Structure 1
Amino acid sequence: MSEFSELTQNAKAWPFEEARKLVKRIGGKAPKKGYVLFETGYGPSGLPHIGTFGEVARTTMVRHAFETMCDVPTRLFAFSDDMDGLRKVPDNVPNKEMLAKHLHKPLTEVPDPFGTHDSFGAHNNARLQAFLNQFGFEFEFKSSTDFYKSGKFDEALLTVLRHYEQVQAIMLPSLRQERRETYSPFLPICPETRHVLQVPVVATDAEAGTIVYRREDGKEVETKVTGGLCKLQWKPDWAMRWFALDVDYEMAGKDLIDSVKLSGRITQELGGRAPDGFNYELFLDENGEKISKSKGNGLSMEDWLTYAPEESLALYMYNKPKTAKRLFFDVIPRHVDDYLTFVGKYHTEEPARQIENPAWHIHSGNPPEHTSPLTFGLLLNLASVCNSHDKSILWGFISRYVPEASPETEPFLDKLVGFAIRYYEDFVKPNKNYRAPSAQERAAIEELYQGLGELPADSKAEDIQNQVYAVGKNHEFENLRDWFKALYEVLLGQEQGPRMGSFIALYGIGETRKLIEKALAGEDLSAA
C-alpha cells in the first residue's frame, strides 16, 4: 500500500475521484478474475494519434491513483479492433489503389501498403505498440482477430446469440428505419470474398450456435458465430468485450455517450456489468470548432512533439478532461512552462499537496528532481532577439547566465532549446511586427537604457526587474502593463513577452542596451 493511501481518500484531483469510484465498485477486494481491468480501444484503420495518446495517458493516471488507494492488482489492455472491415482508403498511406481492392475485408487480412508487415492491421498494431512504448506506458496489447479466431470470445458470442432478440430490442430503436430492416448484431465473414458482411439474419439457432443470413444475391447461408466466422457490430462488440473480459474501467469521448449507454445496456442484458469511466470532452481548433481527422483542422501529436516535450502534452491531457479545450499551436508554450512550474513546486510541497500536483499524475508518483533552470518563454524570446536557428548561439547566452549549465549537464534544457528554436521559426518569426515608440515610451526607454548602464553586468534578475518597474512608474503609465507591452512591441516585435528582468539577465545588460540603441535609432531589428 502506498504511503499516500490515507491522503488519497480526500484528494480532489480527478484521477483520485475516478479511482474512488473503482474502489467502491469492487468493494475494496479483488474481483473474481483476480485483478481490476482497465481498457482502452484502438481502431487500426489509421495510425495512432493524439486522441489515442490522451485516452491511454488519462487511463494510466486513473490506474496509478487506484493503485495508491488499493492493493488489488491491476491490468491495462490496449485492445485493437483489428477484425473490423476496411471501410475506406486512408489519405495518409501509400499504395492506395492496392488497398482499394481489399475494401470490406478484416484489417488483418488487408495487405500492408507499407510492405513491412503481414497485413495493414498488423502494421498499425505494431505502430500502436511502438507508440505506447515510446511514452513508457505499461499495457498489454490485445487483438480482436486473435480473440475471435482463437475461440477466446466463443462463449461470449454464444451468450449474445442466446440473447439475440433482447440485443435487437436495445439496438433497433437507435437506428434509422431503413437500417433497422437489415440490422443484425452479427456480421458474417464471407468465406469466398472474405468481406465483413452487413446482411440481414433470417434465422438463429442458439443451441447449434449458428445463424442464417441472406446474401445480396438472395442466397441464404448458414454459419457458426464462433471461431472467427462472424464478428459483431461495434456497439454489441464493445458490450460483448466488456462482458467477456469483465472490464472494470474504460473512458470514451463525449461523442460516444449514447454508444456507451447502449453498450452498457447490452452488457447488463448478457449478465455482465458495464465498466466505470467517464466521457471526456473533444478538442477544438483555433476557431473553437471541433477537430475532425477528415478536415485536418487540428493539431496532431506529431505537431505537438515537434515543438515541445511529451510531458507538456501529458499536462494538456491531465487538465480538465471534461472541458472542451482548444488544441492549437498557441497553447504549447504555456503548457511547457506550466509543466516546469509544477515539477519545480513538487519537491517543496507537503505530501497532501504533492498528490494534487499534476506532475505527480504525469509521472506516476515520481516526478524528476530537476527539469530546466530556464522557462520555455525565456528561451523563445532569446531565440527571438538572437534571430538564430543555431543552438550553440543560444547556449552561449545560457552558459553565461547559468555558468554550470551545458547541453551535457542539462539535457532537458537542451531539448527545450531545440524546441524553442523550431517554435520561434515557425510561429513567432513570421508574425513579428516591430513599431516605433510613442513620445512617452521613448522617454521611458531612454531612462531604462541609462538605468541599465548603472547596474553591474552580473545583476540579478530581480534587481533588473525592479529597475524596469521603477522606470515605468516614473513615467506615469496608467497601467504598468502598457509599459511592458511597449517594451515587447518595440524591442521584441510581439504583443506578449517574458518577465523583463529575467530576460535581460539572460540576454545580458550590455546586449539589451545595444538592442535599445537600435530600436531608438529606428534600425530594423528583424534583421538582428
Structure 2
Amino acid sequence: MSQAALDPILSAALGDARAWPFEEARRLIKRLEKQKAGSDRTVLFETGYGPSGLPHIGTFGEVARTTMVRHAFEALTGGKIKTRLLCFSDDMDGMRKIPENVPDRAFLEPYLQMPLTSVPNPFGGDYPSFGDHNNAMLRRFLDTFGFEYEFASATEYYKAGRFDEVLLRAVERYDAIMKVMLPTLGAERQATYSPFLPISPISGRVLYVPMKEVDAKAGTITFADEDGRDVTLPVTGGRVKLQWKPDFGMRWAALGVDFEMFGKDHQTNAPIYDKICEILGGTAPEHYVYELFLDENGEKISKSKGNGLTIDEWLTYASPESLALFMFQKPRSAKKLYFDVIPRAVDEYLQLLAGYPRQDGKTKLDNAVWHIHGGNPPAAELPVTFALLLNLVAASNAEDKSVLWGFIKRHFPGTSPEASPLLDQLAGYAVRYYTDFVKTKKRHRAADEEERAALEALSAALAKAPPNATAEDLQTIIYDVGRAVPRYQDFAAKGATPERPGVSNAWFNSIYEILLGESKGPRFGSFIALYGIPETRALIASALKGELLAKDAAPA
C-alpha cells in the first residue's frame, strides 16, 4: 500500500489513528529510527507454524493480525519501506507423539522423534513426508484467504546452510547460551540439557542428549549416539538443530526479524528468546503477545480436548471477514470462541462496513474493516441483519435460502441473489447456522393470560396496519400495544411521562420467547416488515394454539 493510494483525508488522519495495529506499527518505526535504517531496509514480519498438525483457527488469527500490523506500517511509512511476511514452518522438529487424525497411527510408530519432514506421509498423495503434507495444507490454507506471504521450511533453511553462520556463533557462545537456559530448568533437566539437538546418523531421530564436547574452533559437537558410541558432527548443514527456545532467538538473529507475535503461553519465554538473539549478534524483534481463546465454559481451548471452534466450523456459518473481525477485536483480552459468538461477529462486521463510507478519516482508520481489507473495504450496505435472517429462518422453517429470498424480494423489490451476492451468501449461512445449531436448542414457551391478551391485541393492531407499513411504523404499533399493558410499562424510560410511559424489555422478551423460541432477537418491527403482516399474525395464532410448543416436542 502506498501513501498515494490513500485518500487525502485518510493520509491527513494517519497521525491520529489509534487502532492497535497502528500502535504496533509506530513501535516498528521507532525501532528503525533507533537503528538509523535507511529506506532501502526491508522490514521482516514473521509468523510461526508447527506442522505436527493441520492449520487451525489460531494460525489464521496470527497471520491475519500480523498482516494488519504490516498494512498499518505501510500506510504510516507511505509505502517507502519494503516489507515481507515470512510464514516459518518448524518442520525439522521431531514427531513427539502421533496425531489422532492420521489414517493409520500404527504406521507412524517407528518414526517417533524423527524430523517431521523425515516421517512418511500417512495421507498418501504427492507429498513425500508428513511435514511436507502439512506444509502444503498451510500454504493452501493461507492462499484461500488471500494472504500475501513467503513460506519458509526449517528443514530447507537448516540443510541449505541459511543458519550456518549463526549456528557456528552458537558453538562459540555455547557457555553464554547455557547461562541463560540452565536457570530456567529443574535440577534433573539441567544435568542433561543441551541447546543442540543432533540428528542421529544411525536412526535419523532428533536426539535429546547431553554434549560431551563442544568445539568452537571446529564448529562441532560430540555426543553419545543411540548405540552408545561417541559421534562428532558439525553443527552446520542440517545435521543439528536447536532446542525450541534457543531456536526462536537464533532464527530472529539469522533472519533479522523485526516483528513477531505469539500467544500468551510464550510470554514468560520471550525474555529468553530475546537474550539468545542478542547473544548470537541480533537485535530482538518487536513482539506482540495476544491472549489465548477460551471455550464457552471459560476453559483454555485445546486441540487435544477438541473444545472451542475450528476454522472450518466458523466458515460453515459465516464469512472469513467476520472471523477476521473477531481476531481484530481486543487481541490482548481473553475471549470465548464458540458458536454463539458467530452471529454477533457477522452483524458487527456488516455494521462497520456499512458505516465506513460516512466516517471521517480518523474513524475510518480505526474501523476494523480498514484493517480487515488492507485499507480498501468494499462498498456494502445490506438491508437486513444476520440476526434478522436467523429469526426469519426460525419463523418460516426455511430449509433452503430460496425461501428467505422470497421474503427479501417481496420487501426489497429489485434485490436478487445475482445483484446482492453478499446477501445471498448471508442467507445461506443463516440457514446452515439455524439448522445445525439453533434448531435443536430453541424452545418456545406458552403464554400466560396477560401475555395471551397482549399478543391478541398485537395481532388485532397489525390487522389494521396498511400493507406497505414500514418497519418503523410496525415498531410503533408494537410499542403502543405494550404501553397499554401495565406489566410492560416503564415510567423510568427516557422521555417517559405518566400519560405516555415507556415500554420495558419484558414485552419484547415475551414476544421472542413465545413466537421465536429465543430469549432475544432483532427489532421486531423489522422482522414483521420482512416476514409479512399476515405471516406474523399467523405465527401469533399458531403460538397461542400451542402449535409451536408441539413442534418443539415432536421427534426430530
Question: Shared fold (TM-score greater than 0.5)?
Answer: yes
Residue equivalent to 1:51: 58
Residues 80-137 of structure 1: CA deviation (Å, up to 9, x unaligned): 0111111111011212111112111111111111112111111011000010010011
- Identify if the C-alpha distance between structure 1 residues 222 and 33 changes in structure 2 by more than 3 Å, giving closer, same or farther: farther
Structure 2: distance between partners of 1:308 and 1:255: 28
Residue equivalent to 2:372: 362
- The answer to whether structure 1 residue 497 and structure 2 residue 521 are counterparts is yes
Residue equivalent to 2:510: 486
Residue equivalent to 1:61: 68
Decide whether the 8 Å contact of 2:12 with 2:361 is kept in 1: no
Structure 1: distance between partners of 2:469 and 2:119: 66
Structure 2: distance between partners of 1:526 and 1:368: 45
Decide whether the 8 Å contact of 2:475 with 2:526 is kept in 1: yes
Structure 1: distance between partners of 2:546 and 2:159: 74
Matched residue type, 1:191: P
Structure 2: distance between partners of 1:371 and 1:452: 29
- The answer to whether structure 1 residue 14 and structure 2 residue 23 are counterparts is no
Structural RMSD (CA): 1.5
Decide whether the 8 Å contact of 1:371 with 1:412 is kept in 2: no
CA shift for structure 1 position 520: 2.1
Residue equivalent to 2:197: 187
Structure 1: distance between partners of 2:163 and 2:313: 38
Structure 2: distance between partners of 1:371 and 1:192: 64
Decide whether the 8 Å contact of 1:199 with 1:216 is kept in 2: no
Matched residue type, 1:101: P
The aligned runs of 1:35-434 (5 Å cut-off) are 35-70=42-77, 71-116=80-125, 117-370=127-380, 372-434=382-444
Residues 122-161 of structure 1: CA deviation (Å, up to 9, x unaligned): 1011000010010011000011111100111110111111
Decide whether the 8 Å contact of 1:38 with 1:248 is kept in 2: yes
Structure 2: distance between partners of 1:402 and 1:124: 46
Q: Select the residue among 9, 24, 31 that pairs with 1:25.
A: 31
Paired positions, count? 528
TM-score w.r.t. the length of structure 1 is: 0.97
CA shift for structure 1 position 6: 4.2
Decide whether the 8 Å contact of 1:184 with 1:199 is kept in 2: yes
CA shift for structure 1 position 356: 0.7
1:512 is paired with a residue whose SS is: helix
Question: Structure 1 segments of 4 or more deviating over 6 A?
Answer: none
CA shift for structure 1 position 359: 0.7
Matched residue type, 1:421: V
Residue equivalent to 1:506: 530
Q: Which moved more, 1:156-165 or 1:24-33?
A: 24-33
1:52 is paired with a residue whose SS is: helix
2:91 is paired with a residue whose SS is: coil
Residues 425-444 of structure 1: CA deviation (Å, up to 9, x unaligned): 12211122112222222222
Decide whether the 8 Å contact of 1:250 with 1:277 is kept in 2: yes
CA shift for structure 1 position 260: 1.5
Residue equivalent to 2:41: 34
Residue equivalent to 1:442: 452
CA shift for structure 1 position 372: 3.0
Matched residue type, 1:13: A
Unaligned segments of structure 2, at least 5 residues: 491-503
TM-score w.r.t. the length of structure 2 is: 0.93
Residues 57-89 of structure 1: CA deviation (Å, up to 9, x unaligned): 000000000000012110000000111111111
Unaligned segments of structure 1, at least 5 residues: none
1:373 is paired with a residue whose SS is: coil
Indicate the percent of aligned positions where both proteins have the same amino acid: 56
2:207 is paired with a residue whose SS is: coil
Structure 2: distance between partners of 1:429 and 1:526: 14
Structure 1: distance between partners of 2:52 and 2:480: 61
